[in-house]
């Protein structure tokens, strides 16, 4: 944490040239109106260009998203691109979502890239993140940037950096870019004067190509036509999927899609929700009300940048039931894998990918169907990186993570709410064709493979003190791992930071073949698992709980679910994180 003298020095610097007059006036207003803590938080450190880019609160200051922190990130990325592709006419794709100041920030980024002699393919208006990933691949770009803060609160913005494969940057590029960004010591090193002749606006042509690839991911296209009257509701929650998702669903042949009109106007203030996050029950409130009005069987809502989707289904008792990310993944993965199997499309070379904190039910399903299941660290960039490594060697079917991000087909290297919504709608139609609901489908899966129940509990710890608290919690679990979970012996601890799996009975350590990451997992003999990790994008520490038991009879579904829920409650309380 920077000391007060350092903070005062930075504030003084921002009150003078070369910072522009608008920025200087903003700093003056901050000094006049903000609390000492707010000023400290804005200047106590430099906003870190992390392994995925930038994310932070908008406003003046070294620890905020603004013209200068975005300019520094773009200048550093430009410098690295020129070193990485010395004899190439470098090009990048650029897009933004509906965040406040998004277009202004995107213009700044376009100008810095073009000032450095880099061609910019700039989307004419907001677009979902997966389409940015697609455009990089489609246009043979060397990199790309998406201006978004994903599902963070309205005061946030962000900057995601992508590489030539269409995936978010990973090692060694991430660390090398960070070095280039950190090497920029003052704003005079940033070239903000753009070259308009190097900026080309793109739009409809990329839309058509992207939607064509989404259509090709279909498993049972014939079912969509038969069940074209399937009633469903979609909300983009004021975000960037407002056009692409409805077009994808209509292209599939569905004719009874109802939109939550109040949430179809792009708006960075997100006036109809508390948080623009489809993981939150409150964010789907208006969509579920619309579903009741039109008697829909399926509800879907995407986050602001259109890469994640949350759903609610009409349960067998007539009420609308929210599914968590693991439940949706279980249905979707099973639908895709089973469809390929039923249509005799499997050659033995197919695979699925999930993250280490996503339901182990997916591993079990894949194993029983003879399909390879790979696990990666948390973050879809690791799934995308694996897809690139296996390209032309193995066939990717579906990937996903418990945080509501999924991908079907290999047209992009990031999670994609557009193709996910299209396939979830198709999946609902497939079950309806068989006289079943999506709830029936989930119960069938549990009966066949075991009832897996998961829950995420997270704690927000803001500021430098919060960061220290999170660090202390992780160190405490690392040095004093739990010996038992709900009365069952913990047999192993996976320490992804130090790169080993430790048998807690014998003390034997085995190397983990993963990049280093601050994640801990504790596993019992029955497969009960607790994982802990600090968030990479928010001031949070997250705990993931996973328990399972057989489901012998469908009539035991509700009782078994309640029993597993109670078990998670006991474990969370036992570990002091309830």
Neighbouring CB atoms inside 10 A of 351's CB total 19
Q: 349 by DSSP, 3-state: which?
A: coil
Model confidence band, residue 578 (pLDDT cutoffs 50, 70, 90): confident
pLDDT at 156 over 70: yes
Which residues, 6+ apart, have CB-to-CB distance to 140 below 8 Å?
91, 164
Using a pLDDT cut of 90, give the percent of the chain over it: 91
- Contact between 220 and 418 under an 8 Å Cβ cutoff? The reply is no
Over the stretch 168-193, which tens digit does the pLDDT of each residue have? 999 999 999 999 999 998 999 999 99
Closest CA to 332 of 252, 212, 415, 413: 415
Range name among 219-233, 368-382, 458-472 with the lowest pLDDT average: 458-472
Alpha helices in 450-539 (DSSP H): 463-479
- Kindly list the distances between the CA atom of residue 304 and the CA atoms of 79, 127, 242, 277, 428, in Å, as whole numbers in the listed order: 30, 10, 9, 8, 24
Residue at token pair 């610097």: 13
Determine the CATH number of domain 45-202. 3.40.120.10
Instruction: Specify whether 150 is catalytic.
Output: yes
Maximal CA-CA distance, the chain: 72
Kind and range of the H or E element at 328? helix 325-342
Angle at 150 between CA 148 and CA 155, to 5 degrees: 75
- Kindly list the distances between the CA atom of residue 276 and the CA atoms of 8, 204, 330, 419, in Å, as whole numbers in the listed order: 35, 27, 24, 20
pLDDT at 231 (0 to 100): 98
Over the stretch 83-113, which tens digit does the pLDDT of each residue have? 999 999 999 999 999 999 999 999 999 999 9
Over the stretch 239-283, which tens digit does the pLDDT of each residue have? 999 999 999 999 999 999 999 999 999 999 999 999 999 999 999
pLDDT at 2 (0 to 100): 54
Delimiting residues of CATH 3.30.310 domain(s) in the chain:
451-574
Over the stretch 524-577, which tens digit does the pLDDT of each residue have? 999 999 999 998 767 889 999 999 999 999 999 999 999 999 999 999 999 888
Q: How far separated are the first and last CA of the chain, in Å rounded?
A: 30
pLDDT at 1 over 50: no
pLDDT at 535 (0 to 100): 84
Q: Which of 150, 330, 403, 517 is catalytic?
A: 150
Kind and range of the H or E element at 181? helix 173-182
Residue at token pair 């029955």: 526
Using a pLDDT cut of 70, give the percent of the chain over it: 99
Write down how long the chain is.
578
Delimiting residues of CATH 3.40.120.10 domain(s) in the chain:
45-202, 209-449
pLDDT at 462 over 90: no
pLDDT at 4 (0 to 100): 87
How many Cα atoms are found within 13 Å in the side-chain-facing hemisphere of 315?
A: 11
pLDDT at 53 (0 to 100): 86
- Contact between 332 and 423 under an 8 Å Cβ cutoff? The reply is yes
Better pLDDT: 464 or 279 = 279
What DSSP string runs through 52-72? TEEEEEBSSSTTSBSHHHHHH
pLDDT at 99 (0 to 100): 97
Determine the CATH number of domain 209-449. 3.40.120.10
- Contact between 516 and 496 under an 8 Å Cβ cutoff? The reply is yes
User: Structurally, what CATH architecture does the domain formed by 451-574 represent?
Assistant: 2-Layer Sandwich (3.30)
pLDDT at 122 over 90: yes
In this structure, the strands spanning 500-503 and 488-495 are: antiparallel
Per the prediction, the chain carries an average pLDDT of: 95
């Amino acid at each position: 944490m920077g000391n007060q003298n350092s903070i005062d020095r930075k504030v003084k610097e921002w009150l003078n040239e070369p910072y522009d007059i608008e920025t200087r006036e903003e700093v003056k207003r901050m000094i006049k109106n903000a609390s000492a803590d707010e000023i400290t938080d804005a200047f106590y450190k430099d906003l870190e260009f992390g392994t995925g880019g930038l994310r932070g609160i908008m406003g003046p200051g070294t620890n905020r998203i603004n013209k200068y922190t975005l300019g520094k990130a773009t200048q550093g990325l430009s410098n690295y691109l020129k070193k990485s592709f010395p004899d190439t006419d470098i090009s990048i794709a650029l897009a933004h979502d509906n965040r406040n100041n998004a277009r202004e920030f995107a213009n700044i980024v376009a100008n810095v890239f073009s000032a450095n002699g880099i061609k910019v393919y700039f989307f004419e208006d907001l677009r979902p993140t997966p389409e940015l990933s697609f455009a990089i691949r489609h246009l043979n770009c060397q990199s790309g940037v998406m201006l978004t803060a994903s599902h963070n609160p309205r005061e946030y913005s962000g900057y995601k950096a992508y590489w030539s494969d269409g995936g978010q940057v990973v090692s060694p590029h991430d660390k090398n870019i960070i070095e280039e960004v950190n090497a920029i010591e003052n704003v005079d090193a940033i070239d903000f004067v753009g070259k308009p002749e190097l900026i080309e606006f793109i739009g409809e042509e990329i839309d058509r190509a992207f939607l064509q690839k989404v259509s090709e991911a279909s498993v049972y296209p014939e079912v969509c036509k038969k069940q074209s009257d399937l009633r469903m509701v979609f909300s983009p929650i004021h975000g960037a999927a407002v056009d692409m998702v409805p077009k994808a669903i209509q292209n599939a042949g569905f004719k009874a899609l109802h939109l939550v009109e109040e949430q179809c106007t792009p708006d960075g203030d997100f006036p109809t929700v508390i948080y623009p996050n489809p993981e939150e029950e409150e964010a789907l409130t208006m969509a579920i009300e619309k579903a009741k009005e039109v008697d829909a069987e399926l509800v879907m809502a995407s986050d602001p940048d259109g890469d994640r989707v949350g759903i609610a289904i009409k349960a067998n008792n007539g009420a609308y039931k929210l599914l968590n990310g693991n439940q949706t993944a279980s249905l979707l993965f099973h639908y895709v894998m089973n469809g390929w199997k039923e249509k005799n499309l499997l050659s033995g070379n197919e695979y699925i990918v999930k993250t280490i904190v996503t339901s182990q039910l997916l591993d079990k399903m894949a194993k029983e169907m003879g399909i390879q299941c790979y696990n990666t660290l948390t973050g879809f960039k690791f799934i995308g990186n694996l897809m690139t490594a296996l390209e032309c060697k193995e066939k990717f079917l579906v990937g996903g993570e418990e945080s509501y991000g999924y991908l079907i087909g290999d047209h992009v290297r990031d999670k994609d709410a557009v193709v996910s919504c299209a396939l979830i709608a198709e999946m609902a139609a497939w079950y309806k064709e068989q006289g079943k609901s999506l709830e029936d489908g989930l119960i069938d899966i549990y009966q066949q493979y075991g009832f897996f129940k998961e829950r995420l509990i997270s704690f927000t710890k803001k500021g430098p003190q919060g960061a220290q608290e999170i660090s202390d919690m992780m160190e405490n679990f690392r040095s004093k791992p739990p010996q038992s979970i709900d009365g069952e012996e913990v047999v192993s601890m996976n320490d992804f930071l130090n790169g080993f799996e430790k048998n807690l009975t014998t003390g034997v350590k085995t190397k983990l073949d993963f990049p280093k990451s601050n994640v801990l997992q504790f596993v019992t003999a029955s497969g009960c698992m607790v994982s802990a990790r600090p968030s990479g994008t928010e001031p949070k520490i997250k705990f993931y709980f996973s328990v399972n038991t057989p489901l012998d009879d469908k009539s035991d579904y509700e009782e078994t679910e309640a029993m597993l829920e109670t078990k998670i409650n006991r474990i969370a309380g036992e570990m002091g994180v309830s």
